[in-house]
Structure 1
Amino acid sequence: MGSHPLPEPVTPAGRAGLAALLERPERAVVALDFDGTLAEIVPDPDRARAHPGAVPALARLAPHVASVAVVTGRPAGVAVRYGGFAGRAGLEHLVVLGHYGAERWDAVTGTVRAPAPHPGVAAVEAELPGVLDASGAWQGTWVEDKGRAIAVHTRRAADPQGAFDALRAPLEELAHRHGLIVEPGRLVLELRPPGVDKGAALSEYLRESGAGSVLYAGDDLGDLAAFAAVEELRREGLPGLLVCSGSTEVAELAARADLVVDGPEGVVTLLGALADRLGGPVPA
């Protein structure tokens, strides 16, 4: 496995964030989304798995930084399984913040901590089939029960964007009736409780860990809150690097990023390049 050069962030703030990470890696937090960032987007979300190079790259990098956190809308335990994170040498202190921070899995204990689910999620799940049927746009949709949220995917519909657009208003009305919100993503509409997002989860974790710098990588609209949190922390003096796992589907995220890489393959290459720079051993 050859080494890769570190790419140059296109913004001054991004270059300062990368420089801070390299200068004091022991105080740096590397935080990453899962789907679309560590794992390729696939039509069936139950078949998503981490890129084959993701865990080896993280295992090389993690011992050199303060911590590595995966921040995802998925249940924490599901992300751990699909990522292959449990019991991996080098990832003994990995943290997974699932359900936008409502759940937390720590590799140290191997357990998930979580509050009780919002009652609106069960109510929405019961009513959802009728709402989808009445919309006339349900064919080809895929409903994913996330435990603390319900996601309606339209990627497998005959007209994915048309189904997404047709379902947005009725799903927002359903969510509102039960005290939930709708989080749009890449051909997915997620109904979940308000007040939890990746930005709040990331900010709390960075403060808890006493981070001196942060790298955050994401790919979807749900990552905008994390980008905004890093931007706010930069204004408060915490250096940060924002990475977009490149997608033409979410131009807004790419426009706000300091560095755009080519999907999960590019994220893995970036993590490997950071490990190379910080002295992580290259596997034989």
Structure 2
Amino acid sequence: MGSHPLPVPVTPAGRDGLAALLAAPQRAVVALDFDGTLAEIVPDPEQARAHPGAVPALARLAPRLGSVAVITGRPAEVAVRYGGFAGAPGLEHLVVLGHYGAERWDAATAAVTAPEPPPGVAAARAELPGILAGSGVGQGVWIEDKGRAVAVHTRRAPHPQAAFDALCEPVSALAERHALIVEPGRLVLELRPPGVDKGAALASYVRESGAGCVLYAGDDLGDLAAFAAVEQLRSEGLPGLLVCSGSSEVAELAERADLVVDGPAGVVELLTALADRLADRLGSESGSGSGSGSGPGLG
């Protein structure tokens, strides 16, 4: 144990957040984005899978914490499948908040709960092919149906950034017509209902859990709302640690993070180092570790 050194956050608030997590892990929420954080970004999102070390690291860490949640724009069931979370030993109380919190999957029941999708998403989805055809962006741009959201990807276009730039205005106009918002990301434009974002999902979950501290890790512009939620919680006296799964594509997130790690592999190393530190503190793996936070919440 202890073979993975624990990195030191560069900010005082981040160091306070890490210290709070280590001091009282049974009251900690660790929340993680999926794509770009637990899984590498790939040209075809349907081929995304969790880093091979992600589930083993989470399985070691989760029983020592109050709660672990994955917060993603994907449908919850898709994130569970691509993550390999279902039935994983040690993750019996994992929660996946899909569609930015509009859906929820609980490992304890293996059930997804969600309200009906808003009608504006279906209307926008029907119009998008015509908008792409009229934009002159060429081949390689494609539409991903997320159920509660719809996304336009340009990563596979001959000129990905040019296609992205050309689509920003017409896609934004489409969103406005149907009372949706546009969430730009790493060569993707996502249309979804307003008032639904990772920040709202994270803040609600932290409060529901009765957490004493929170760690959030993300990699993209959609994670800025979650960063802002942690910053707000910190202003209210709840310690927090902001982790950026490092990407040169999203400098804004790295600049606001307390700790920048090297992509999903770096996130896995951080989770493993946390598990090592808590195991060292609480005893051997077969000892008292699971008693500190194996329940479904922090209550």
Whether TM-score is above 0.5 comes out as yes
- 1:146 Cα deviation (Å)? 0.4
Task: Indicate the residue corresponding to 1:54 in structure 2.
Answer: 54
User: Structure 2: how far apart are the matches of 1:143 and 1:55?
Assistant: 29
User: Structure 2: how far apart are the matches of 1:205 and 1:199?
Assistant: 10
User: Structure 2: how far apart are the matches of 1:244 and 1:281?
Assistant: 28
Task: Indicate the residue corresponding to 2:135 in structure 1.
Answer: 135
- 1:179 Cα deviation (Å)? 1.2
Task: Indicate the residue corresponding to 2:175 in structure 1.
Answer: 175
Task: Indicate the residue corresponding to 1:70 in structure 2.
Answer: 70
User: Structure 1: how far apart are the matches of 2:217 and 2:72?
Assistant: 11
User: Structure 1: how far apart are the matches of 2:188 and 2:119?
Assistant: 22
- 1:6 Cα deviation (Å)? 0.1
Deviations 1:169-216 (A, max 9, x none): 000111111111110000000011111000000000000000000000
Specify the code of the residue in structure 1 equivalent to 2:105.
Answer: W
Deviations 1:220-269 (A, max 9, x none): 00000000000000000000000000000000000000000000000000
TM, length-normalised to structure 2: 0.93
User: Structure 1: how far apart are the matches of 2:13 and 2:195?
Assistant: 28
TM, length-normalised to structure 1: 0.98
Task: Indicate the residue corresponding to 2:292 in structure 1.
Answer: none
8 Å Cα contact 2:86-2:110 kept in structure 1? yes
CA gap 1:138/1:151 in 2 versus in 1, 3 angstroms: farther
User: Structure 2: how far apart are the matches of 1:119 and 1:179?
Assistant: 10
Deviations 1:16-50 (A, max 9, x none): 00000000000000000000000000000000000
Task: Indicate the residue corresponding to 2:223 in structure 1.
Answer: 223
Give the match's secondary structure for 2:174: helix
- 1:113 Cα deviation (Å)? 0.5
Give the match's secondary structure for 1:120: helix
8 Å Cα contact 2:26-2:65 kept in structure 1? yes
4+ residue stretches of structure 1 with deviation over 2 A? none
Aligned-residue CA RMSD in angstroms?
1.1
- 1:142 Cα deviation (Å)? 2.0
Task: Indicate the residue corresponding to 1:88 in structure 2.
Answer: 88
Task: Indicate the residue corresponding to 1:6 in structure 2.
Answer: 6
Deviations 1:87-124 (A, max 9, x none): 01100000000000000000011000000001011111
Task: Indicate the residue corresponding to 1:120 in structure 2.
Answer: 120
Give the match's secondary structure for 1:36: coil
- Once the two structures are superposed, the pairs formed by residues 1-284 of structure 1 within 5 Å of their partners are 3-279=3-279, 281=285
Give the match's secondary structure for 1:147: coil
- 1:125 Cα deviation (Å)? 1.1
User: Structure 1: how far apart are the matches of 2:204 and 2:163?
Assistant: 36
In structure 2, the gaps of 5 or more residues are 287-299
8 Å Cα contact 2:37-2:217 kept in structure 1? yes
Specify the code of the residue in structure 2 equivalent to 1:51.
Answer: H
In structure 1, the gaps of 5 or more residues are none
- 1:281 Cα deviation (Å)? 3.6
User: Structure 2: how far apart are the matches of 1:263 and 1:3?
Assistant: 20
- 1:77 Cα deviation (Å)? 0.4
Specify the code of the residue in structure 2 equivalent to 1:81.
Answer: R
User: Structure 2: how far apart are the matches of 1:232 and 1:67?
Assistant: 20
Specify the code of the residue in structure 2 equivalent to 1:129.
Answer: P
Specify the code of the residue in structure 2 equivalent to 1:62.
Answer: A
- 1:138 Cα deviation (Å)? 4.2
Give the match's secondary structure for 2:255: helix
Give the match's secondary structure for 2:216: strand
